[in-house]
Amino acid sequence: MDDLIQCNKLTKSYSEQPILNEVSFSLRKGEHLTIVGPSGCGKSTLLRCLAGLESIDNGDIKLNGKSITSTRPENRSIVLMFQDSLLFPHLSVIENITYGLKRKKTPRKDRINEGLQMLEKVKLTRWKDAYPHELSGGQKQRVSLARALVLKPDLLLLDEPFSSLDASLRESLRGEVKEILRDENITSLFITHDRDEAIELADRLAVMNDGRLIQQGTPYDVVTYPSSSESARIIGEGLSLEEGFVPLHHVTAVPKDDRVSNNKDLVTIPGKVTALTVKNNSVCYRVSWEDGTVLVSSEASLEPGQDVFLRATRMHVHPYGPNLRTWSNTP
C-alpha cells in the first residue's frame, strides 16, 4: 500500500538550537501513529511543521506523493487539533463545527447537514445550539474533534488534546476518538507523553527524544522490547539494565531476606516499596530502585517502606537492538 505521507530527514532549529534532527517516517492511509516523548523533545514542533505553521530548515514532506514543503497551511489537507479546544465563544456548537466549511464557501444547507451528521458521531446532537461556556471540558474536545473531521482532512494531527481532562474522562474519550477515526478512515498522528495513552491510540508507536525518532514499531514491541536504554527510560515497561531490558511481566518483588545468593541465573536488584496500589483487581507494589521505579507484583505481602529485591531470570534479559516481533497479546 502506498504511503499517504512521507517525511524525509526533517530538520528545524531555533536560534541555532536543533529542535528536529533528521526526522523520517511515513504513514499509510487509515493508519494511526503515536509519538511519545518527554516535554521539549520536539513533538509539537513536528506537528506544526507538518501543518505548515512552521517552516522546516531541511528535508521534505510529501502528501499523496507530492511535496507540500512550500505549500501554505490552508492549502494542505492537514488539520491540527490543539491541547485547548479553541472554540469561538460567540458561536454555537453547530456554528463552531461548520466554521471551516463556511470559509471554504460550502453552501449553508450542505454544511449544516454535514455538521449535524458529525455531531451525531461525537454524541452531541442535543447540544447543537449551546455555546462553549455551557459545555464541559470533554464536550468541548468532542466539538473540536468534530470541527476537524468535518473538513475530511487527509491527515489529522492531535497535540495532546486530552491533557487538560481528568484521568477517567481521558480514558473514555480516547477510546471514542479511536473508534471515530477508524469509522471515518482518517489517518492520524497523535503526540503525547502519557504511556497508556500512546499505547491505546497507536497502530504504530514511535519514541522521540532530543529531536530524534529513536524507535518505531508496534506498541507491544516498543514497550516490551525497547531498542535502547534511552527508549526504555521513556516508554519501556520493565527494568532497564546495562546489558538489556527485562519486560515487566518477568519481574517480581521479593522480601530482602528472601534473596537467593550466588545464583547466576537470577538478576537481583535492591529496591524499596514506596506505595501499594490495585491494578486490574490485583495488588501491586511501586518499587523504587537506583534507576527509577516500577509497578510489580509479589507473592509475598509487602508494606510501604520495606526493603526488597527486584528479581528476574537472566534468560528474560533482552539485549537492546532492533526487534522484529509483531503485535501480540501474549509474551
Is residue 45 included in any domain, yes or no?
yes
* Residue 5 φ/ψ region, left for φ over 0, alpha for ψ in the -120 to 50 degree band, beta for the rest: beta
CA distances to 177, 180, 197, 200, 206 from 162, rounded to whole Å, are 11, 16, 9, 13, 19
Residue among 278, 257, 283 nearest 268 (CA): 257
Domain check: are 53 and 89 in the same one?
yes
Q: What is the CATH number of the domain that holds 250?
A: 2.40.50.140
CA distances to 25, 131, 172 from 142, rounded to whole Å, are 28, 13, 12
299-325 pLDDT per residue, tens: 999 999 999 999 999 999 999 886 544
Is residue 232 included in any domain, yes or no?
no
Residue 8 structural domain: 3-224
- Report the C-alpha gap between 248 and 237 in whole angstroms: 5
**Residues 6 or more apart from 77 whose CB is under 8 A from it?**
63, 153, 154, 155
91-134 pLDDT per residue, tens: 999 999 999 899 889 999 999 999 999 999 888 999 999 999 99
pLDDT at 13: 94
Domain check: are 23 and 166 in the same one?
yes
169-178 pLDDT per residue, tens: 777 778 888 8
pLDDT at 200: 87
| Confidence grade of residue 259 (pLDDT, cut at 50, 70, 90) | low
Residue among 51, 61, 48 nearest 9 (CA): 61
Domain check: are 104 and 200 in the same one?
yes
What stretch of H or E contains 305?
A: none
286-298 pLDDT per residue, tens: 999 998 889 999 9
Give the other-Cβ count within 10 Å of 67's Cβ: 12
Collapsing DSSP states into helix, strand and coil, what is residue 178? helix
Cell output for 272: 524499596
Q: What is the CATH number of the domain that holds 151?
A: 3.40.50.300
Is residue 326 included in any domain, yes or no?
no
Which of 224, 257, 274 is the C-terminal boundary of a domain?
224
Domain check: are 162 and 193 in the same one?
yes
Rg (CA), the chain: 23
| Confidence grade of residue 330 (pLDDT, cut at 50, 70, 90) | very low
Domain check: are 24 and 64 in the same one?
yes
Q: Supply the DSSP string of 183-211, one letter for each residue.
A: HHT-EEEEEES-HHHHHHH-SEEEEEETT
194-238 pLDDT per residue, tens: 888 888 889 999 999 999 999 999 998 999 889 998 999 898 888
Is residue 301 included in any domain, yes or no?
yes
Give the other-Cβ count within 10 Å of 25's Cβ: 18
Is residue 325 included in any domain, yes or no?
no
Is residue 49 included in any domain, yes or no?
yes
Domain check: are 12 and 120 in the same one?
yes
Is residue 330 included in any domain, yes or no?
no
What counts of helices (H) and strands (E) characterise the chain?
9, 17
* Residue 86 φ/ψ region, left for φ over 0, alpha for ψ in the -120 to 50 degree band, beta for the rest: left
- 8-17, 19-28, 74-83, 260-269: least confidently modelled range: 260-269
123-166 pLDDT per residue, tens: 899 999 999 999 988 888 889 989 998 999 999 999 988 777 77
Which of 173, 199, 224 is the C-terminal boundary of a domain?
224
7-64 pLDDT per residue, tens: 999 999 998 899 999 999 999 999 999 999 998 899 999 999 999 999 999 999 999 9
Q: Domain tally for the chain?
A: 2
**Residues 6 or more apart from 277 whose CB is under 8 A from it?**
283, 284, 285, 286, 295
pLDDT at 130: 94
- Given a contact cutoff of 8 angstroms between Cβ atoms, the answer to whether 200 and 300 are in contact is no
Is residue 233 included in any domain, yes or no?
no
Domain check: are 218 and 262 in the same one?
no
Domain check: are 307 and 253 in the same one?
yes
pLDDT at 44: 93
Cell output for 176: 471514542
